[in-house]
Amino acid sequence: MSDDLKGRVIRLEELVEYQEGTVASRMVIKQPHGNITIFSFDEDEGLSEHTAPYDAVVTILDGECEVWLSGETFTMKTGDTIIFPANAPHALSAITKFKMALIMIRE
């Protein structure tokens, strides 16, 4: 975790910049029971379908993306949140550049 973030007001979407043609990330908190990571996705970037052994909460901080979760498709935009259940297949794809916060809770 970045000690420079502790004890002050921050804007999560400002913690990671957009980078052309790629996905960028910054770990905000990493603990044995879970972590918080901020991601930025350039347009047309994404994460291929995968599963995780833990519940995960994704909140869109900027932009718009398409999310696939267990065979359903959702369009998400700034301010929207979705919870991925543990072991559920999911994927993300940028419609526009977008940023998201990923909160992973371990059991």
pLDDT digits (tens, 9 = 90+) for 9-64: 999 999 999 999 999 999 999 999 999 999 999 999 999 999 999 999 999 999 99
Strand blocks (E) in 6-89: 23-31, 34-41, 46-50, 55-69, 72-77, 81-84
Q: Which of 98, 39, 41, 49 is closest to 69 using CA atoms? A: 49
Q: For domain 12-105, say whether CATH 2.60.120.10 is its number.
A: yes
Amino acid at 48: S
72-91 pLDDT tens trace: 999 999 999 999 999 999 99
Question: How many CA atoms, within 13 angstroms, populate the side-chain half-sphere of residue 91?
Answer: 11
Which residues, in sequence order, are CB contacts of 34 under 8 Å at separation 6+? 54, 103, 104, 105, 106
Q: How confident is the model at residue 2 (pLDDT cuts 50, 70, 90)?
A: low
pTM check: above 0.85: yes
Yes or no: say if 54 and 80 are a contact pair by the CB < 8 Å rule.
no
Domain ranges of the chain: 12-105
Question: Residue 94 is encoded by which pair of tokens?
Answer: 């940028």
Beta strand 34-41 pairing with 90-105: antiparallel
